[in-house]
Structure 1
């Protein structure tokens, strides 16, 4: 028969094990740039980065071959580097060429497109996400084209989700166009960026409000839907799907081995 002390310790151990088992997979640690956000009845994963962090864009490898997959992306990193997170970063043609502007390591590889057109990309205003050494910017494409800032990396996509604190005028609160969606938003001072992907299908209006009302983004840009993918090594997450075109990701120094 258990003594009272034995029962207390048994119950304590059971509660401890239950706490470990019930810990959600999305629970954030200090080193994890991604975390879960619940907003207006929908779940999202949000990954964060600051200006000055090692944010990069990838499309093709040095031999001109498409990178496209998490496995090939890992192969682009140095031996002393690890991936913090990555996601698709802009719309692309069937051959994975970016639809609009694409800048990598300061070199423009695809030109900007400012004309209205079919599909979400042509739902003006669309925009450009620009990574500079000391600033992260989301800017409406025609404004960008009129006075281009210097970008180490840049990708064009569309539509804009949030424009100077206002939602895109074509978004409807009750729209039944629902998809898994991903995009990026930046703070007013350009020092912080949020990269979000919905875990369930949502409409544009809800997705845009996530950036403006929950995250505090002054400007935000839609990357894509249906094919949206996230790679989050800290959670052993690498979403399946077709090879991606442009990819954005955070690179970090590889941790020193434990002694």
Structure 2
């Protein structure tokens, strides 16, 4: 009996924690990227915009400080959709506080209005990228949702406006999801890339059928596994994974 107890204790001590968020640097087609993959069956993605007093978090460090007060840590985060100068979302945004902004279906200026655009919908145990009109038609239940644009990959095809010979190069970040919703893969380029190159990363390298662009040069990443937590001017919506001690009982 003592031997069995000792073996059990040893197993508990040596068993590694399940890595539900995995970040790594990668190279594809001559470009460099940082990629973070979230197993949505194990980890709950969350969106963050404002604290309990209605103040915009704006920075990873501010969000980390707020989480630390509850004994939690930010395992991964990135900016999650376009925003106005007051940091309010341009399109649909839903978090634990409710809906901040409605779904925008019409074309408009800038990358957000380069239709088709889309929505990242996060629910219990899954995350899905929907094209905006498909999202409107299906009306899925989302615990968290953020709209951005343009779509990078739509049902396995690149956005029809992306040109292989484009000369528009920027740092870019976005998210792709698997058909079953259990893989949510976030990527940020480490050098300036075109939309066509960035979309191809999700479709051809990450093998994801749907992907959504978040933003350009303002894009930032918090990835402790890579020793990285980008600072800069204030962000709007943030998506991330929070880890911490589970409540007793």
TM-score, length of structure 1 as denominator length: 0.84
Q: Deviations over 1:207-229 (max 9, x none)?
A: 00000100011100000001000
Q: CA RMSD in A?
A: 1.7
Which residue does the alignment assign to 1:9? none
User: Mapping of 1:126-141 within 5 angstroms?
Assistant: 126-141=117-132
Asked whether 1:223 is paired with 2:238, we answer no
Q: Is the 8 A contact 2:82 2:90 kept in 1?
A: yes
What is the alpha-carbon distance in structure 2 between the residues aligned to residue 134 and residue 234 of structure 1?
Answer: 23
What is the alpha-carbon distance in structure 2 between the residues aligned to residue 197 and residue 247 of structure 1?
Answer: 14
What is the alpha-carbon distance in structure 1 between the residues aligned to residue 20 and residue 154 of structure 2?
Answer: 31
What is the alpha-carbon distance in structure 1 between the residues aligned to residue 131 and residue 79 of structure 2?
Answer: 20
User: Mapping of 1:31-70 within 5 angstroms?
Assistant: 33-52=22-41, 53-70=43-60
| Deviation of the 1:31 alpha carbon | 7.8
> Structure 1: which 5+ residue stretches go unaligned?
1-29
What is the alpha-carbon distance in structure 1 between the residues aligned to residue 80 and residue 178 of structure 2?
Answer: 18
Q: Is the 8 A contact 1:184 1:221 kept in 2?
A: yes
Which residue does the alignment assign to 2:100? 109
What is the alpha-carbon distance in structure 2 between the residues aligned to residue 201 and residue 106 of structure 1?
Answer: 35
Given candidates 191, 196, 203, the residue that maps to 1:212 is 203
Which residue does the alignment assign to 1:18? none
Q: Is the 8 A contact 2:149 2:214 kept in 1?
A: yes
| Deviation of the 1:238 alpha carbon | 1.5
Q: Secondary structure at the match of 1:34?
A: strand
Which residue does the alignment assign to 1:73? 63
Q: Secondary structure at the match of 2:66?
A: coil
User: Mapping of 1:160-199 within 5 angstroms?
Assistant: 160-199=151-190
How many residue pairs get aligned? The number is 227
Q: Deviations over 1:192-249 (max 9, x none)?
A: 1100000000000000000010001110000000100001123331212211000000
Q: Is the 8 A contact 1:106 1:151 kept in 2?
A: no
> Structure 2: which 5+ residue stretches go unaligned?
1-18
Q: Secondary structure at the match of 2:67?
A: coil
TM-score, length of structure 2 as denominator length: 0.87
Given candidates 82, 88, 96, the residue that maps to 2:87 is 96
What is the alpha-carbon distance in structure 2 between the residues aligned to residue 204 and residue 229 of structure 1?
Answer: 17
